[in-house]
Structure 1
Amino acid sequence: MNANVSSSAEPTRIRWKIFGVLFLLVVVNMIDRASISIAMPTIAQELNLSGVMQGLVLSGFFWTYALMQIPSGLIADKFGPRSTVSISTVLWGASQALLGLCHNGIALIGARLLLGASEAPVFPAGARLNAIWLNKKERARGAVLMDAGGPFGAALGGILVAEMILFFASWRITFIIAGVATILLGFLAHYIIRDDPTHDPMVNEAELSIIREGQNDGPAVQAEGESGSLLHLMSLRSLAGMLVGRCAWAMMFFGLLTWGPSFLASALNLDLKSVGFATMIIFCAGGVGSLCGGFLCDRLVSGGMSRARSCKLLLTISGLLTLGAFAALPYVPDVTSSIILLSCASFVLMWGSMYWSFPPMLAPRSRVATVGGMMNMAGSVGGICIPLIVGWILDLTGGSFDPVLHFFAACAVVFVIMTNIIDLRNAR
């Protein structure tokens, strides 16, 4: 028990410093994983890489990232999020720096595989930190503070990496600098993050009281010490809804991330500079939307609405508005309106960040990171599949993006249905 500050003092806010670090980690996470795409034309020319080899280098990250999600969750549950996050960050920084030392395609693939595996633990460990450090009225804010780093990283990463490559006249130096910076961030994470609020000397009794509020309610806590399979401790209906819903959401998000620039260039006839600027606007809108959705959800809960109703209401609105935006895009007559509509779609789509509040709401605390890893694996599978699906649709339709947008609209329908299947009546 901490005894540093009296309970009558103003509550400290260490929990939000921790989630600020998680936000920064996810921003850097997205920049590091996307940097290879920005540098690939230069790398391919210097190393004489074939198109197939370029594809293998780009996709290598996602295979190990997906495969390591559940093991990463098990590791975070067993050894705690502090060590898991800090070691993961140092390893992915080293992997990023190694990219700058590679001299052929095989070496690049190896570094990318290592990068995917080492980045995998961040989100599962973040889900466990949500369960440990936040009360039930703060879970959505914690979830979106972590996940919002993704769209902000996507928005800023391309511009930042391109400018660094131009400034240093070297993709190798850029990757090495990025890797070293990430390693330093790993040491910061180890300094700030704690596995238990009562072990943090900076947390006072007033903040501990806020953290404990409602944490002893519900079957998730009662099952803390139970053994048995996860399906014994958690509803199959909720688990299936969460996994399929997250996969559908990821297809829309990664669809925008991977094929959005091609849509802007091909369907809207934008030049490269305009594509970069429009992409930044669209994903900045997504980052702001993520934060707004989470804070609105927690505000509704604080106002008396149940957690189940507030989450499902906002996520259903998100899915329906995203559905309407994708369905309407083929009929929008001008470029400016299309970019505005895509930005609006990104804004409400990123309310889906609230999915990261589900593992701590539904799973026993001893299994939160494992469930988070399963959910992120489902999202990663969607991220792996959607580039292939979109490419297949474009080949079948002669390059038309209209059927692609209709497919994204269908994903929004699945997202809404699966979200409403999740049983949150006993969520904590």
Structure 2
Amino acid sequence: MSISNTATPPKRKPTIVRWLIFILMLVLGAINYIDRTSLGIAMPFIQEEFGIHDERIVGLIHSAFFWSYALMQIPSGFLADRFKTRTIIAVATIIWGAFQAVGAACHQVLTLSLTRIGLGISEAPIMPAGAKLMGNWLTPNERGRGSMLLDGGAPLGTALGALLLTWLIGHFGSWRIAFIIAGVGTVVVGAMAWFFIRDKPSEHPSVNAEELTYIEEGINSAKTSSPSKTRLRDILPYLTQLNVLALIGGWACYSTVFYGLMVWVPAYLKTAHGFNVKEMGGAMTIMFLLCFVGQQLGGYIADKWRSAGTAPNKVFHVLLAISAIVSGGGVFLCANTSSPTMAVIFLTIALFPLRWASVYWSIPGLLGAQKMAGTITGTMNFCSNMTAAIVPILVGWMIHRTGSYYSAMMFFAFAAAGYLVCSMLINFNRPMVLKDPE
């Protein structure tokens, strides 16, 4: 007599491919900001070599990146909605790495500015494409952490860039070699992105059935409409909604604070507080590394708080209010201290919760607009980077006119107040109205 084996096989744990993809996006974001930060770190040496003595020229060089980056945001978001996200991310990364390396061959302000324009164009698709990936790979209750990973490369890359680039410049005695190494490293990671990232979980060979089911059930339970063909003009109905306008305004104000500090803090510490290159690199590393830690903490708190059943309005309004108030207060206190140590402490306090604004990337998907998430976030980033393009010029003029950084720091504190107001105007109980194309 035979006995058949009817035991149910043990249920497998879901794989974590979705998180590995967003860790890779974190790495890409960090490299993105290492390449951006390279100019700010190297600028004192570039000024000396190129004979630049006018801070307004420095502001123009910094702004070259942001003009091109901003102008490509809406087209990049549209591309993310229409074409394969994996291809867009890999190709963009490889091209921007090439522009970073070519910058090492420049000997004039014009040619250096042109490489920064190329860097801005090629970096532009990464964040809208990442927002699209987030909607396809993460459930609604995971998107707080996903947003922080997606956007966490900014403080992490700034911190690592300050450490790496100051070491490379000190070791080789050349900012040019530092640019080449950063560019080649970027190209290598771009190739890695092509081999690992897929547009959807169902396309990835390493996703098991349990993870696929978990993702699909989580996303399908939150869907409010069926997908349809995306057209660029479909963004127009969204631009009449207060939620979208507040999203755009808040991100522009936040970006003014973050990019203003990222671009000008190296020169501020050197000029206002007498830091040498090693002290400057060390301070930047501490400030932006803790900014990264604070960012990940914010994402964890947001997801856990929401999972406990707390209303989205309360979760996001409290977190964003803390972010804006602490950041603005820290910058204000920094502007009013003469102590180098206290300046670093106040800037660290300001930066720690500032990147909680990264939840902005998940808001279109959370409010039912996943079909247009790439285009909406591209529009959001376009407006913020147009602001970021103007800010270096404006700050350079302020410094040239006043002979100090005080007015610039107060300007950043004022922008933090704008970030607070716009964040409070976003109603997380009001879905974004979806307009299906006719």
Q: Does the alignment reach a TM-score above 0.5?
A: yes
Q: Report matched runs for 1:16-55 at 5 Å.
A: 16-43=19-46
CA contact (8 A) 1:223 1:364 kept: no
**1:71 corresponds to which of 66, 71, 75:** 75
How far has the Cα of 1:318 moved from its partner? Answer: 1.3
Structure 2 unaligned segments of length 5 or more: list them: 1-8, 433-438
Q: Does 1:418 align with 2:427?
A: no
- Structure 2 contact 254–419 (Cα < 8 Å) conserved: yes
User: CA offsets per residue over residues 258-284 of structure 1, 9 Å max, x none?
Assistant: 222344344444444333322221111
TM-score, normalising length: structure 2? 0.87
Matches for 1:24-423 after TM superposition, within 5 Å: 24-43=27-46, 56-217=60-221, 221-222=224-225, 224-225=227-228, 229-232=234-237, 236-332=241-337, 334-362=339-367, 364-395=369-400, 397-399=402-404, 401=406, 403-423=407-427
SS of corresponding position for 2:140: coil
Residues 144 and 302 in structure 2, CA contact (< 8 A), matched pair in contact too = yes
How many corresponding residue pairs?
A: 421
- What is the rounded CA distance, in whole Å, between the counterparts of 1:427 and 1:217 in structure 2? 15
Aligned partner of 2:4 in structure 1 is none
Deviation at 1:58, TM superposition (A): 3.5
Distance 1:125 1:82, change over 3 A: same
CA contact (8 A) 1:136 1:213 kept: no
- SS for the counterpart of 1:138 is helix
Take 2:14 and 2:127, find their aligned partners in 1: how far apart are those partners?
27
CA shift at 1:217, angstroms? 4.4
**1:49, 1:35 → 2: CA distance?**
17
* Root mean square deviation of aligned Cα: 2.7
Shift of 1:35: 1.6
SS at match of 1:146: helix
Task: Give yes or no for contact 2:77–2:129 (8 Å, CA) kept in 1.
Answer: yes
Change (3 A) 1:352 1:43: same
What do residues 167-222 of structure 1 show as CA deviations (whole Å, max 9, x unaligned)?
3444444333322221111111011111110111211122123322442345x641
Letter in 2 for 1:197: P
C-alpha contact 2:144 2:362 (8 A) present in aligned 1: yes
Q: Which amino acid aligns with 1:59?
A: S
In structure 1, C-alpha distance between the alignment counterparts of 2:59 and 2:208, rounded to whole Å: 51
- Alpha-carbon distance between aligned partners in 2 of 1:317 and 1:378, rounded to the nearest angstrom: 24
Structure 1 residues 313 and 55, CA, compared in 2 at 3 Å: closer, same or farther?
closer
1:39-74 CA-partner distances (Å, limit 9, x unpaired): 345455556678577655433222111111111111
Q: Which amino acid aligns with 1:13?
A: I
- Aligned identity (percent) is 37
The equivalent of 1:3 in structure 2 is: none
SS of 1:8 mapped into structure 2: coil
After superposition, what is the alpha-carbon deviation per residue over 1:11-55, rounded to whole angstroms, capped at 9, x for unaligned? 100001110111000111111122233334545555667857765
Q: Deviations over 1:391-418 (max 9, x none)?
A: 44445555261x4443333222211111
My pick for the range that moved more, 120-129 or 327-336, is 327-336
Moved more, 247-256 or 362-371: 362-371
Contact 1:20/1:145, CA 8 A, preserved across alignment: yes
For 2:400 and 2:38, the matched residues in 1 are separated by: 27
Deviation at 1:141, TM superposition (A): 0.4
CA contact (8 A) 1:47 1:104 kept: yes
The whole-number CA distance in structure 2 between the counterparts of 1:242 and 1:321 is 20
Higher alpha-carbon deviation: 182-191 or 164-173:
164-173
Q: Distance in 1 between matches of 2:58 and 2:122?
A: 21
Letter in 1 for 2:113: I
Contact 2:162 2:284 in 1 (8 A): no
- Following the alignment from structure 1 to structure 2, what is the Cα–Cα distance between the partners of residues 43 and 262? 12
CA distance in 2, matches of 1:202, 1:160: 33
Deviates more, 1:370-379 or 1:67-76: 370-379
The amino acid that maps onto 1:70 is I
What runs of 5+ residues in structure 1 fail to find an aligned partner?
A: 1-5
**What code does the residue aligned with 1:61 have?**
F
Closer/same/farther in 2, CA of residues 94 and 405 from structure 1, 3 Å limit: closer
1:99/1:111 contact within 8 Å kept: yes
Q: Report the TM-score when normalising by structure 1.
A: 0.89
Question: CA, structure 1 residues 44+256, in 2 after alignment: closer, same or farther (shift >3 Å)?
Answer: closer
CA distance in 2, matches of 1:222, 1:234: 19
Aligned AA (1:295): Y
Decide which moves more: 310-319 or 96-105. 96-105
More moved, 15-24 vs 311-320: 311-320
**Quick one: distance in 2 between partners of 1:321 and 1:53?**
32
CA, structure 1 residues 97+342, in 2 after alignment: closer, same or farther (shift >3 Å)?
closer
- The amino acid across from 1:132 in the alignment is N
Q: Is the 8 A contact 2:73 2:124 kept in 1?
A: yes
> Against the structure 1 CA distance between its residues 172 and 262, is the aligned structure 2 distance closer, same or farther, given a 3 Å change threshold?
closer
Is the Cα contact below 8 Å between 2:80 and 2:374 reproduced in 1?
yes
Displacement of 1:357 in angstroms is 1.5
| Maintained 8 Å contact 1:221/1:365 | no
The change in CA–CA distance for 1:207 and 1:66 in structure 2 (over 3 A counts) is same
